[in-house]
Amino acid sequence: MTQRNPPLEHEDADGRPPIRDTAAMRALRSLLERAVKRVKSGGELAQRLHVAPSHVIRMRKGLVGAGVETLWDLAETLDEDPVAILRVCGRMPLAERIDRLRQGLAPRPCSQLCDKISRLSGDDRDRVLNVIVERLLIDTAATGMILPATAAPATRSER
């Protein structure tokens, strides 16, 4: 009789990967069970999700997760909002971005930066803005662009 090597860190005693027991994985497994009931078989679900039947089996057991496209296809199979499915399955940042796009608001890092700058104290804000202006002038000069005279920033005393 051959002895089995001790399990690796990512295996259980039987040599199988551990089941991921997170809220997102439990939600995915629940959604998959609903989808199997809706389409009547795991094979049919695999076709609708554009994955192999073995992948559906592994997802239902909690051994693997689902990619964004698979989650989107799952939402369509269940006739549910894809953003809600993404959110409940642990893809919150992507779900939030899609929500913003739906509302016609593209992610705006510049406005976030402006909000943060406006919260600074007066002296700190002036220093940060001066550094930004200097950098813009350097970058503009490096590209050969010429700023119109009206584009020059006003100093605090000119305001």
> pLDDT tens across 104-157, in order?
765 566 777 777 888 888 899 899 888 888 888 887 776 666 655 555 555 555
Entry pTM: 0.57
Least confident of 6-15, 50-59, 115-124, 125-134: 6-15
Q: What average pLDDT does this structure show over 90-100?
A: 91
Which residue, chain included where needed, has tokens 């909690």?
A: 62
Q: What is the mean pLDDT of the chain?
A: 81
Tokens of 128: 């940060």
Q: What average pLDDT does this structure show over 62-78?
A: 94
Q: How confident is the model at residue 8 (pLDDT cuts 50, 70, 90)?
A: very low
Domains of the chain: 23-102 (1.10.260.40), 109-158 (no CATH)
62 neighbors 29 (Cβ within 8 angstroms): yes
Instruction: Give CA–CA dist 65/25, Å, rounded.
Output: 7
φ/ψ region of 90 (left if φ > 0, alpha if ψ in -120 to 50, else beta) reads left
pLDDT at 67: 94
Residue 128: count of CB within 10 angstroms of its CB: 14
- Helix spans in 62-159 (H): 68-78, 82-88, 92-102, 109-118, 122-143
Least confident of 10-24, 35-49, 96-110, 125-139: 10-24
Least confident of 4-13, 96-105, 116-125: 4-13
pLDDT at 129: 87
pLDDT at 28: 95
First vs last Cα of the chain: how many Å apart? Answer: 88
pLDDT at 112: 73
